[in-house]
């Protein structure tokens, strides 16, 4: 007779356990989600109550700068750092500012919130030869600051990898000690691009750290860095810049671009608020990407690009798509990746507008009306198919699934130009 109540108690207990489990999972997922969201934004606002002199020179990256400043002030700098984070967010600039501080011959001390912060004087012979506003030490030369990156060919195209020659040169220079008797700083950009023999040679130098030699390595693809190099350097993560910093930087560039030759004309056209907002949004927190887009014709070119790729599948459209594909084939991988990203953002806008024509959270405000009309014409399926085609193209080209780059780009352009509609018709007929 007790069987039924016992059974009920058992069921209630099971339900209670399940509820606790779900609650625990939900809390866990919420925590994980918060961590992911927080880890993807620059934590500048958190660090504002801990200002440092170093962070006064750089927009954003306060956490990384605070870490470096504290380590420097307490003489606890690691002999090698690995700065990792998306490209174009200022890792090299931070490395150059730190290099200037390390090489300054008469550092100054400033008291901030009761903490002594050391900073470069900006006046000594050493400081005058390092200009953090110009990423590479162009024009000036400091014999104890080594800067290694991929070489460029006569057309300005970057080599695929860093060869062993500059690493050997560096090693023989390091064996002579500091030219000016102080520290030596080595900045290596894109350390993931070291060729195998270059990486092995560098590894030997990192394994036997020399006194007063500091390595500042940067990468935008941490997974591609050799684990042996990773394990010998202190990793420091750089987050994408937040929207406000991006917009402030764009305004600063509009007023005064940081060019080597001050007589050169400003390469950046003025932006209106909406264009500046779109540019900042599209660049995903990378000022380098924003400047590259801006200098190549800015948002007008981007908007043209979108409209010339989004066609209806007529005979002339197909010819236009092939011509468009031809122009894309000439771009390098970085530019192609950027182009795919732009289109993905636009198709996302179209999807948002399809469900809410009043939506304001858009990448391309100025194209709102156009995007809404196109969303109505294309419909949900075709928008999703085209987004899928962009993913496929990216997978094939950048994950090296397919080898024929030309064919993959042509297929994508034809698809976006309306071939998706033809495929749909063909499917219906069959
Ligand atoms: Zn100085």
- Domains in the chain and their CATH numbers? 44-152+160-237 (3.40.50.300), 296-429 (1.20.272)
Distance 51 CA to ligand 1 centre (A): 21
Beta bridge partners of 218: 83
List CB contacts of 416: < 8 A, sequence separation 6 or more. 309, 310, 311, 321, 343, 386, 389
Distance 71 CA to ligand 1 centre (A): 19
Distance 402 CA to ligand 1 centre (A): 52
What is the C-alpha to C-alpha distance for residues 167 and 164, in angstroms, rounded to an integer? 5
* The pLDDT of residue 253: 81
* The pLDDT of residue 157: 76
Distance 123 CA to ligand 1 centre (A): 5
Alpha-carbon radius of gyration of the chain: 27
* The pLDDT of residue 144: 94
What is the C-alpha to C-alpha distance for residues 253 and 265, in angstroms, rounded to an integer? 12
Distance 105 CA to ligand 1 centre (A): 5
Distance 73 CA to ligand 1 centre (A): 16
Distance 66 CA to ligand 1 centre (A): 20
* The pLDDT of residue 169: 94
Distance 280 CA to ligand 1 centre (A): 34
Distance 253 CA to ligand 1 centre (A): 26
Low-confidence stretches of the chain (pLDDT beneath 70) = 1-57, 132-140, 256-267, 399-403, 420-430
Distance 309 CA to ligand 1 centre (A): 52
Distance 124 CA to ligand 1 centre (A): 4
**CB contact at 8 A, 215 and 63:** no
Distance 18 CA to ligand 1 centre (A): 64
* The pLDDT of residue 129: 86
What is the C-alpha to C-alpha distance for residues 270 and 275, in angstroms, rounded to an integer? 9
List CB contacts of 246: < 8 A, sequence separation 6 or more. 280, 283, 285, 287, 290
**CB contact at 8 A, 181 and 105:** no
State the greatest distance between any 2 C-alpha atoms of the chain, in Å, as a whole number: 98
* The pLDDT of residue 401: 58
Distance 125 CA to ligand 1 centre (A): 7
Distance 171 CA to ligand 1 centre (A): 26
| Tokens describing residue 199 | 């990486």
Distance 129 CA to ligand 1 centre (A): 10
Distance 320 CA to ligand 1 centre (A): 57
């Amino acid at each position: 007779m007790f069987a039924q109540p016992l059974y009920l108690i058992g069921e209630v207990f099971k339900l209670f356990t399940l509820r606790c489990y779900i609650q625990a999972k939900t809390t866990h997922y919420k925590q994980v989600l918060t961590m992911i969201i927080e880890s993807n934004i620059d934590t500048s606002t958190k660090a504002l109550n801990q200002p440092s002199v170093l962070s006064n020179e750089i927009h954003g990256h306060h956490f990384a700068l605070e870490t470096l400043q504290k380590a420097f002030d307490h003489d606890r700098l690691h002999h090698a750092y690995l700065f990792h984070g998306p490209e174009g967010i200022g890792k090299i600039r931070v490395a150059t500012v730190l290099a200037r501080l390390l090489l300054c011959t008469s550092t100054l001390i400033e008291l901030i919130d009761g903490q002594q912060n050391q900073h470069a004087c900006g006046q000594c012979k050493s400081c005058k030869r390092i200009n953090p506003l110009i990423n590479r030490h162009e024009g000036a030369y400091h014999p104890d600051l080594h800067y290694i990156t991929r070489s460029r060919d006569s057309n300005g195209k970057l080599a695929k990898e860093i060869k062993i020659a500059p690493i050997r040169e560096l090693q023989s220079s390091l064996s002579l000690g500091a030219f000016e008797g102080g520290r030596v700083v080595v900045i290596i950009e894109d350390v993931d691009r070291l060729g195998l023999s270059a990486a092995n040679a560098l590894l030997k130098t990192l394994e036997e750290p020399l006194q007063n030699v500091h390595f500042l390595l940067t990468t935008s693809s941490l997974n591609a860095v050799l684990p042996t190099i990773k394990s010998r350097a202190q990793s420091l993560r750089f987050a994408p810049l937040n929207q406000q910093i991006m917009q402030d930087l764009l305004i600063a560039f509009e007023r005064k671009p940081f060019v080597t030759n001050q007589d050169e004309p400003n390469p950046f056209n003025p932006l209106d608020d909406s264009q500046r907002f779109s540019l900042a949004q599209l660049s995903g927190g990378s000022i380098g990407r924003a400047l590259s887009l801006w200098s190549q014709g800015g948002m007008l070119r981007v908007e043209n690009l979108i409209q010339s790729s989004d066609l209806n599948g007529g005979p002339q459209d197909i010819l236009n798509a092939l011509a468009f594909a031809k122009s894309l084939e000439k771009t390098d991988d970085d530019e192609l990746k950027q182009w795919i990203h732009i289109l993905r953002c636009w198709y996302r806008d179209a999807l948002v507008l399809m469900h809410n024509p009043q939506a304001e959270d858009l990448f391309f405000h100025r194209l709102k009306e156009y995007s809404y009309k196109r969303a109505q014409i294309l419909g949900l399926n075709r928008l999703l198919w085209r987004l899928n085609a962009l993913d496929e193209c990216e997978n094939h080209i950048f994950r090296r699934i397919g080898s024929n780059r030309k064919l993959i780009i042509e297929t994508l352009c034809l698809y976006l130009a309306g071939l998706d509609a033809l495929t749909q018709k063909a499917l219906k007929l069959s």
